[in-house]
A and B are shown apart, each in its own frame.
Chain A
Amino acid sequence: MGKLVGQPIKRVEDNRFIKGEGKYTDDFNMPNQTFAVYVRSPHAHAKINSVDTSAAEAMDGVVKVFTGQDIADAGLAGSICGWQVDFKNGDTMKEPPHPIMVADKVRHVGDPVAMVIAEDKYTARDAAELVNVDYDVLGAIVDPKAAVEDGAAQVHDDVPNNTIYDWELGDSAATDAAFENAHHVTSLSYHNQKLVPNAIEPRAALAHYDANEDKYTLYSTSQNPHLARLVIGAFVLAIPEHKLRVISPDVGGGFGSKIFVYNDECGCLWASKQIGRPVKWTADRSEAFITDCHGRDHVTDAQMAFDADGNITGLRTKTYASMGAYLSNFSTCVPTYLHGTLMQGLYTTPAVHVDVTAVVTNTVPVDAYRGAGRPEATYSIERLMDTAAREMGMDPTELRRKNFIPAFDGVEQPGYQTQVALQYDSGDYETNMDKALQVADYESLKATRDKAKSEGRLVGIGFSTFIEACGIAPSAVVGSLGARVGLYDAASIRVHPTGKVTIHSGAHAHGQGHETTFAQVVADAFGIGMDDVNVIHGDTENVPFGMGTYGSRSLAVCGSAIMKSVDKVKEKGARIAAHKLECSPDDLEFANGAWTVKGTDKSVGFGDVALTAYVPHDYPADEEPGLDFASFYDPANFVYPFGTHICVVEVDKDTGEVDVTKYVAVDDCGNVINPMIVDGQVHGGVAQGIGQALYEGAVYDDDGQLLNGSMLDYTMPRADNFPMFETDKTETPCPHNPLGVKGIGEAGTIASTPAVVNAVMDALSDYGVKDLQMPLTPERVWSAMNSNGNA
């Protein structure tokens, strides 16, 4: 551990945010800019007969109105799916087009049919109401499982039975055999409900086409500006990379929803060229509810088989996963490679089989949302574990202890090969759970619960011991599985003549604190101070081609690229230092900001070497001037954080309200660079997972109308929904990346949802309630308590 690494260094970026001086996309303006408002379908499924824009175009201040037909006439394709998952029988995945605006039929409420551009946003809004669209309303399909049935409304003409693909992983025969021979089988069926990400900053774009340079600039709320440039340039608008600049300034939260390249932003870029003026668009919240990609929406049957001793002998799941109305960029990999591959959890389950059918429905597209596939997998496994423990009369911790994969460090002991493709890097699951039991004081918790129950109060304890795969991802591996992009990252380190350092990061921070953690790592590496390091991110013209931030990858992947550049700086620096010290580089060691001849006090400082590199008067003959290196890092494997979360709830007998009274999270994300930031990530993740368990969920009616499409109707967790969270950690280093780090951005969300639901089921155990549909609203809980568990 260095001077800075491992310390809770206060965040550098906070200095601007706490003063209101952050600069988010909507804070930027350009001379002569116009304002766009999209006209969106009020219907979930309808044929467009005509679009009359004449009244809108006649309004004073309206610059131009474009429609889906204009997009079709321009021959534009629209955004793409970035991951091909083929059918079991080898047939190619169905991939319906997703135009920037539609001309023929709308497929979800919010599908754009026209775009009004005006001199100001007030006029644009007024004119948008005057666009008259004549629809023939069609029947809609919302339920993922019903979508495949004959007779269900067909979302796309060329996607029979709305089926995008079917897919399986694991040994079906061995798994079926395990169930045939099982002593006990635990079964659950549930809908892992559709969630609305609701980053507090709505999406926005400011697009500009410069005719003089034939060049486009897009300010955008993106988690990954290079990925946006790649997709927009290569696929959507056919703009050469050197003619498209994407800038992601400060971004107000993403949680996955700002990974994707949305058609709305592409439309602004395209329109900017057509009208020859900058186009600004900012979603309002109502629009965000029906356009930002949603998460989850899996309908799943899950079963776990046990022998007489409580050893897991098999796990099988069948899932219908909704993609929504169109395939968003990574929608297809979420229920497969981010879900099926995690289905062994951290147990020695010898036979696993996962079956997934991906479908389209008349709902907002679904894609990665914090955790993305791994929360769904963890929910299946961990709900089955607590349920099985209750059914078999075992303590849930003992059932887990019996089935944990034994500790392995990935160095002395090899990585652990699961039945579902992944090889875990390192893990010590039992030690982690024991730490959590100690932090929570489990024995005393049980006594408290039992005493409360004896007094007629409904207190419950729930567990979730989870593993996830993040640090996405080894390019060759994901490429062989259908990914259409590489998932490396990139970073450069520019050492300035005075020994100050600028890091150019391919990862983009929208809350993760890269400007602090990356600086900690590099400052320690060079023996300099935090103030001597600056981090630049979020502009394709100023940072190397990195793939951005999602899948808890920034430190594990981009951080590794940074370390590669650090090594290059040190190697070259050593050659310059050796020249100055008149020795061989092999004679030098680097410590405390200086190269020292081993065994002597002869040394030269980092700053001296930097200055020499830029003022190379007395300099090695074959050496280039300068000290500036870029590196790409393609990870050897995913990283596999894990942990134990324990939730305690009390249910209000009168109303069914669930109060989370205690929450303990003991996470293992490998080496920790900044424990303050790691804890913060866990807090936020846990809150989002509790949100799914108790409060959140998109509610559609049969016509495909989103019934809770505003923050007055969709329950966003508030401060008074949570207790103080108790966090602790174990540290099992990742064996395959230079910092020994895993990832922590999604862990809390992955772990917490089943822990909360397990706790509520424990509280309700005397009522014979085995399962309840999330979110566990007061009414659902109350109804279950008052209907003999048959709710």
Chain B
Amino acid sequence: MISYNFDYKVASSMEEAFSMLAEAGDDASFIAGGHSVVPAMKLRLSEPSTLIDISKVPGMSDISQDGDTVTIGGLVTHAEVASSDVVNNACPGLAECAGVIGDPQVRNKGTMGGNVAHADPGSDYPGALVAFGATICLASASGSREVSAEDYFTGLFETAKEDDEMVTAVKVPASSASAYAKFPNPASRYAVVGVGVSLNMNGGSCESASVGVTGAADHAYRASGSESALAGSDLGDDALDAAASAAADGQDMMSDLAASADYRAHLCGVMLKRAVAAAKARA
């Protein structure tokens, strides 16, 4: 498999990246780890005229914590998130999610920024980021802005990111009672359904819950019906059943070789229960 020809430029700073992008025009694309960009180019499903390699841009390769907020740079790999002490302590559900993306080689190369920018409907991170109330940090030549994950993922490979913007970082609130449960596509290892859950527990009672679902619909969504069912409950069977049965409410389930819409909806509930159980155990 061979991609079309393209020009390749290496940006040494964010400013340079944006000026290269402006110069190269509409068909240019940033590349970091390349694990979204390269496969599509090899299959000739995408044809950027210029690739601007941002992997050497400083300032986007770190994981840091400031109070209750963990910031993960856009160039941080999935493997780094999965093995990060900071992430494992502050938001174990996100580390769990990073650790089940693709396979080990993919996790060594794929980045947070690339993943979030690409917004594959079967991608794992979006489910977790939506669930954990993350904020996507975007920058362009004209400035920077932040968008909540819930507002960021808008459709099939569609996001709130403008073409001239770059995902520079993701900010994730600390959530010790968090988890991510996934039913992988048996062939591709993308998520058929992935559910992130964050619980706010008070003793044995769940004061509030946040649930994000990926893989099921054309983009990650918050399962508000499930959240309501869990909130104020003791996470007993009745509450879990109610939350599970609401996990696909109002969503248009995808249907493909791996799962029909009905089965996907069912899996949303099963994965929700598993994520709740894991999150509760961490509370």
Contacts and interface: CB of A to CB of B under 8 A. Distances in A.
A–B touching in complex (CB under 8 Å) = yes
B263 A779 contact: yes
Contacts of A712: 187-188
A716 B185 CA distance: 11
Contact of B266 (A707, A715, A782): A782
Given A122-B2, A125-B2, A712-B187, A655 B270 contact: yes
Nearest to A721: B186
B270 A715 contact: no
A724 B38 CA distance: 36
Contacts of A126: 2, 4
A403 interface: no
Interface of B: 1-2, 4, 43-44, 183, 186-188, 257-260, 263, 266-267, 270, 273
Given A707-B257, A782-B263, A782-B266, 18 more contacts: A121-B2, A126-B2, A126-B4, A129-B44, A284-B1, A286-B43, A654-B270, A695-B186, A708-B187, A708-B257, A712-B187, A713-B187, A713-B188, A714-B187, A715-B187, A716-B187, A777-B186, A778-B183
Nearest to A712: B188
A122 to B, nearest CB: 6
Tell me which of B44, B260, B267 has the highest count of chain A C-beta atoms within 10 A of its own C-beta: B267
A130 to B, nearest CB: 12
B156 to A, nearest CB: 17
A284 B2 CA distance: 10
A199 interface: no
Interface residues of A, number: 24
A636 interface: no
Interface of A: 121-122, 125-126, 129, 284, 286, 654-655, 695, 699, 707-708, 711-716, 777-779, 782-783
Contacts of A286: 1, 43
A779 B259 contact: yes
A654 B267 CA distance: 8
A286 B44 CA distance: 13
B158 to A, nearest CB: 21
A699 B257 CA distance: 8
Nearest to B187: A715
A779 B187 contact: no
Contacts of B270: 654-655
A585 B47 CA distance: 78
B186 A715 contact: yes
Contacts of B2: 121-122, 125-126
A661 B156 CA distance: 38
A656 B248 CA distance: 19
Nearest to B260: A779
A712 B185 CA distance: 9
B6 to A, nearest CB: 12
Contacts of B258: 779
Contacts of B257: 699, 707-708, 713
Tell me which of B44, B257, B267 has the highest count of chain A C-beta atoms within 10 A of its own C-beta: B257
A655 B1 contact: no
9 contacts: A122-B2, A125-B2, A284-B1, A655-B183, A655-B267, A714-B187, A715-B187, A778-B183, A779-B259
B79 to A, nearest CB: 18
Contacts of A654: 270, 273
A712 B103 CA distance: 13
A529 B135 CA distance: 69
List 8 A-B pairs, minimum CB-CB distance, nearest first.
A712-B188, A715-B187, A715-B186, A779-B263, A654-B270, A125-B2, A284-B1, A713-B187
Contacts of A121: 2
Nearest to A653: B270
A714 B186 CA distance: 9
B263 A783 contact: yes
A553 B16 CA distance: 64
Contacts of A782: 263, 266
Nearest to B186: A715
A655 B2 CA distance: 39
A543 to B, nearest CB: 35
A778 B263 CA distance: 9
Tell me which of A129, A284, A655 has the highest count of chain B C-beta atoms within 10 A of its own C-beta: A655
Tell me which of B44, B187, B273 has the highest count of chain A C-beta atoms within 10 A of its own C-beta: B187
B39 to A, nearest CB: 9
